[in-house]
């Protein structure tokens, strides 16, 4: 399988980057995970032509071609970073590659909660009509105290967390296989979702 691993922050020292990089190396015999950075993308500005900047279009194509997406998010003020929200807004407003795409949400934080509130918020966002990602249910990977979690070689040193991540990733691979088969059998619905606009609703929707 081929996955896109999104580092959901523009911080140069983020342990979420270390988490995605660890997953890429640790699961290399099971899947190919391409680590993608988003820190250099411009802030979303709702262009009238609905065309995203080149870097975001490239990432969108990679998502389209991948079997699934892994997003690692830190937690800022009980939510996801602005740079990650901006990327999601670009994708939902333009190419919509996340529709029916299997997504695994993970996260690391310096405290004990492991970005739990940000992950919950991200799941809610990914269920929006313009996104409609297929989010793996009933499974969370929360890496707390992440500043001490990795050694100098980028290895995750909490053995119980490695075991937990192994189980979550195995479930995700199964979830991807099942989901992509279901989506393949209902491709028309996916294309209809990509054409959704709030203007179709009688009340004009929530956007302004």
Confidence bin at 198 (pLDDT 50/70/90): low
The whole-angstrom distance between residue 132's C-alpha and the CA centroid of its chain comes to 12
Would you state the pLDDT for residue 159? 97
Does 191 have pLDDT greater than 90?
Answer: no
Confidence bin at 176 (pLDDT 50/70/90): very high
Does 112 have pLDDT greater than 80?
Answer: yes
Does 133 have pLDDT greater than 80?
Answer: yes
Higher pLDDT, 183 or 186: 183
The whole-angstrom distance between residue 42's C-alpha and the CA centroid of its chain comes to 18
Would you state the pLDDT for residue 61? 98
User: Beta-strand (E) ranges in 15-168?
Assistant: 32-36, 68-72, 102-108, 134-135, 141-143
Q: Could you tell me which residues come within 8 angstroms of residue 111 by beta carbon, excluding any fewer than 6 positions away?
A: 144, 145
Average pLDDT, integer, range 147-158: 97
Q: Are 102 and 136 in contact (CB under 8 A)?
A: yes
**Mean predicted lDDT score pLDDT of the chain:** 92
Backbone phi, psi, residue 33, to 5°? -115, 115
CB atoms inside a 10 Å sphere around CB 163: 10
pTM: 0.89
CATH topology of domain 2-200: Rossmann fold (3.40.50)
118-127 residue pLDDT tens: 999 999 999 9
What is the Cα–Cα distance from 70 to 7, expressed in whole angstroms?
9
What is the Cα–Cα distance from 144 to 107, expressed in whole angstroms?
9
**Domain residue limits, the chain:** 2-200
What is the Cα–Cα distance from 208 to 204, expressed in whole angstroms?
9
Average pLDDT, integer, range 185-201: 61
Burial 170-200 (b: 16+ CB within 10 A, else e): eebbebbeebbeebeeeeeeeeeeeebeeee
Confidence bin at 194 (pLDDT 50/70/90): low
Would you state the pLDDT for residue 195? 63
Confidence bin at 184 (pLDDT 50/70/90): confident
Does 146 have pLDDT greater than 70?
Answer: yes
Backbone phi, psi, residue 89, to 5°? -65, -40
């Amino acid at each position: 399988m081929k996955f896109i691993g999104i580092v959901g922050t523009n911080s140069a020292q983020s342990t979420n980057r270390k988490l995605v990089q660890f997953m890429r190396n640790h699961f290399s015999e099971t899947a190919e995970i391409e680590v993608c950075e988003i820190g250099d993308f411009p802030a979303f500005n709702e262009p009238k032509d609905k065309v995203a900047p080149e870097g975001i279009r490239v990432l969108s194509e990679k998502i389209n071609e991948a079997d699934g997406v892994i997003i690692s998010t830190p937690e800022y003020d009980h939510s996801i970073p602005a740079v990650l929200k901006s990327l999601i807004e670009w994708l939902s407003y333009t190419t919509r590659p996340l529709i029916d795409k299997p997504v695994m949400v993970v996260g690391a934080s310096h405290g004990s909660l492991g970005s739990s509130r940000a992950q919950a918020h991200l799941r809610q966002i990914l269920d929006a009509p313009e996104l409609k990602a297929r989010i793996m249910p009933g499974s969370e990977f929360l890496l707390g105290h992440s500043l001490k979690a990795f050694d100098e070689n980028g290895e995750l040193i909490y053995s119980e967390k490695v075991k937990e991540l192994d189980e979550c990733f195995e479930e995700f691979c199964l979830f991807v296989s099942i989901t992509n088969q279901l989506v393949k059998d209902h491709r028309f619905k996916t294309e209809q979702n990509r054409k959704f606009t709030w203007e179709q609703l009688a009340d004009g929707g929530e956007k302004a």
